[in-house]
Structure 1
Amino acid sequence: MDPRSEVLLRQAELFQGSLLIAGAPADGLLAELPQAQAWTWHAGDQAQLLGRFPGRCHHGVDAPQVPFDSAVLFLPKSRELAAYLLNALASRLAGRELYLVGEKRGGIEGAAKQLQAFGKPRKLDSARHCQLWQVTVDNAPVAQPLESLAERFELALPDGPLHVVSLPGVFSHGRLDKGTALLLDHLQNLPSGHVLDFGCGAGVLGATVKRRYPQSQVTLLDVDAFAVVASRLTLAANGLEGEVISGDGIDAAPQDLSVILSNPPFHTGVHTHYQAVEDLLAKSGKILRKGGEMRLVANSFLRYKPLIEAALGNCETRAEAQGFKIYRAIRG
């Protein structure tokens, strides 16, 4: 069980009523709290929770419209996302209890200061390298529309500026990361057909490819609901059409692809997690059509080339700069 869940269960008497667990991990916590419901924006966690607790799980970027007498937020990595989520929960909890739980290495002590906007926070527990905080919501805020928190910026590209809309919690929020910038410089001569932007984030790669290759069908895929919304906003901001889907890894992708593009993630919260990338590489040969191409950027220290060669039988390094490499492989 997640250590944060273990800390909650040390105070289980506080959580026996109608409770909303925001950012709920995919563990057995709901089994221990029979009146609780889960809210998650991670497609993989949602799938696992639905399988075990049907009817008690909600997925998306907005707090579910279900009644709850108290709520607990599992602290996300992004401070901006935490602020949005705390605001959304506190706006529904006037005079009632809001809890925050997180790992010390994840910055729980600093994040707990955000509770001061609603009342007087107090630390209830510290164990398993985690802390649990509580506040009675004496100052209930007005819920902030998510889009009002968007960061909008332009990328100067050879075919004109690209408008990017980023949301709290989305990878490289409010800026272009170095890896994606390098891959944007190496999108020449892509095969026509169906293109997948895997781990799309704010949709920079997918939008760029759709504008540059308008006859291609473009699908953008991310595990994070906030990234899905951001990608749709980015496409709309540029007058582009594309399919944006939420799914847990490459198994959620369409088949018979002409191109897979990715700046693949390898972090989940504060933890390093390579499974989604390894699955992408291992299964690329099954979802690429013959002659289809995978082109991705990765930190130079990550040993992806042997994995790509094992899946597709070939791999070349197209470029290397600022600690990143561009890999290209073709399905024979």
Structure 2
Amino acid sequence: MDPRSEVLLRQAKLFGGPVLLAGLPADGLLGELPEAQGWSWLQHEQLALEARYPGRCQFGTQVPAQAFAGAVLFLPKSRELTDYLLAALAARLPGGTLWLVGEKRAGIERAARQLEPFGRPRKLDSARHCQLWQVTVEQVPAAPDLEALARRYPVATADGELQVVSLPGVFSHGRLDVGSRLLLEHLDGLPQGEVLDFGCGAGVLGAALQRRYPASRLHLLDVDAFAVASSRLTLAANGLGGGVQAGRGIADAPHDLSAIVSNPPFHQGVHTDYQATEQLLREAARHLRPGGELRLVANSFLKYAPLIEQHLSPCRVLAERDGFRVYSARRP
């Protein structure tokens, strides 16, 4: 059981009714709270919960439509995403109760101040290196417009300027990260056909690929509903096409790809998690056609080259700068 869930269950009597659990972990909490419903914006966690508790966990960027008497937000890493989620939940809870639970290292003590616009927050519990806070929603906000909270910024590429649209919670929100910048400079010579931007984030790599290779068919895949929405906005802002989908990881990607391009994540919330990237490296060959290429950027300290060579083919370093490397390997 996740420690945040354990803290909730110490106060289980508070959550016995129709409570919405927002951003809940994929553990047994729904089994302990039979009237609760879940809402997740991470596809792998939502699918795991849906398989275990059918019909009890929804996926997306918007608060589920069904009625609830109170809501618990599991503190996300991003402050901007926390602001959006708290406002979206509070807008549905006039006079109701909103709880915030999170780990101390995730900033729960600081984040508790984000409850103050809605009422008087108070700490209910502190255990398992986590805290649980509560507020009665006395000042009810207007439901936030998610798209209005987007940050838009230009990115110069060899094929012209792109407009990137980044929603709260998306990796490198509102700015181009160093790794993606390096990879954008090394997109030449990719095989054309079906091309995947894996872990697409705000869609900057996918948009650049579609601009560079207009004859190719573009696919964008991310586990995060906010990233999927951002990528769709970025493609639309640049008049570009492409299929954007949520997925658990490379297992949900198309097959017979000519290229997989990625700046893969290695954090999930405040935790370091290499699983999705390592699975990509192990399974890329199954999704590439013969001669298809895997090209990715990663921190130099991450030992990805041996995994690529073990599961795909000899690996080349195309570039190295500012602590990042661009790797390339082709399916035989």
Structure-2-length-normalised TM-score: 0.99
Match of 2:27 in 1: 27
**In the alignment, residue 248 of structure 1 is paired with which amino acid?**
R
Match of 2:114 in 1: 114
Match of 2:295 in 1: 295
State the secondary structure of the residue aligned to 1:190. coil
Paired with 1:317 and 1:161, the residues of 2 have a C-alpha distance of: 27
State the secondary structure of the residue aligned to 1:327. strand
Q: Report the Cα offset of residue 156 of structure 1.
A: 1.5
Match of 1:250 in 2: 250
State the secondary structure of the residue aligned to 1:101. strand
**In the alignment, residue 155 of structure 1 is paired with which amino acid?**
V
Paired with 2:277 and 2:144, the residues of 1 have a C-alpha distance of: 34
**In the alignment, residue 310 of structure 1 is paired with which amino acid?**
Q
Match of 2:17 in 1: 17
Paired with 1:157 and 1:255, the residues of 2 have a C-alpha distance of: 28
State the secondary structure of the residue aligned to 1:210. helix
The percent identity for this pair of structures is: 66
**In the alignment, residue 172 of structure 2 is paired with which amino acid?**
S
Paired with 2:137 and 2:255, the residues of 1 have a C-alpha distance of: 48
Which consecutive segments of 4 or more residues in structure 1 shift more than 6 A? Answer: none
State the secondary structure of the residue aligned to 2:291. strand
Paired with 1:304 and 1:162, the residues of 2 have a C-alpha distance of: 30
Match of 2:89 in 1: 89
Paired with 2:306 and 2:52, the residues of 1 have a C-alpha distance of: 37
Alignment partner of 1:241 is 2:241: yes
* Cα deviation 1:98-147 (Å, max 9, x = unaligned): 00000000000000001000000000000000000000000010011100
* Cα deviation 1:219-267 (Å, max 9, x = unaligned): 0000000000000000000000000000001001000000000000010
**1:129-140 superposed matches below 5 A:** 129-140=129-140
Paired with 1:92 and 1:291, the residues of 2 have a C-alpha distance of: 52
Match of 2:230 in 1: 230
**1:178-327 superposed matches below 5 A:** 178-327=178-327
Alignment partner of 1:164 is 2:164: yes
State the secondary structure of the residue aligned to 2:219. strand
Paired with 2:159 and 2:13, the residues of 1 have a C-alpha distance of: 60
Match of 2:80 in 1: 80
Paired with 1:186 and 1:108, the residues of 2 have a C-alpha distance of: 40
Q: Report the Cα offset of residue 160 of structure 1.
A: 1.4
Match of 2:152 in 1: 152
Paired with 1:157 and 1:268, the residues of 2 have a C-alpha distance of: 29
State the secondary structure of the residue aligned to 2:100. strand
The root-mean-square deviation of aligned C-alpha atoms, in Å, is: 0.5
Question: Size of the alignment, in residue pairs?
Answer: 332
Q: Report the Cα offset of residue 51 of structure 1.
A: 0.4
Q: Report the Cα offset of residue 313 of structure 1.
A: 2.2
Paired with 1:34 and 1:140, the residues of 2 have a C-alpha distance of: 28
Paired with 2:260 and 2:314, the residues of 1 have a C-alpha distance of: 15
Alignment partner of 1:69 is 2:69: yes
State the secondary structure of the residue aligned to 1:124. strand
Paired with 2:135 and 2:313, the residues of 1 have a C-alpha distance of: 56
Paired with 2:299 and 2:180, the residues of 1 have a C-alpha distance of: 11
* Cα deviation 1:64-114 (Å, max 9, x = unaligned): 000100000000000000000000000011111000000000000000001
Paired with 2:18 and 2:65, the residues of 1 have a C-alpha distance of: 13
Paired with 2:173 and 2:199, the residues of 1 have a C-alpha distance of: 14
**In the alignment, residue 9 of structure 2 is paired with which amino acid?**
L
Match of 2:53 in 1: 53
* Cα deviation 1:26-72 (Å, max 9, x = unaligned): 00000000100000000000110000111111100000000100000
Match of 1:44 in 2: 44
State the secondary structure of the residue aligned to 1:215. coil
Q: Report the Cα offset of residue 159 of structure 1.
A: 1.8
* Cα deviation 1:266-298 (Å, max 9, x = unaligned): 100000011101100000111110000010000
Paired with 2:294 and 2:285, the residues of 1 have a C-alpha distance of: 9
Q: Report the Cα offset of residue 157 of structure 1.
A: 1.6
Paired with 2:159 and 2:326, the residues of 1 have a C-alpha distance of: 21
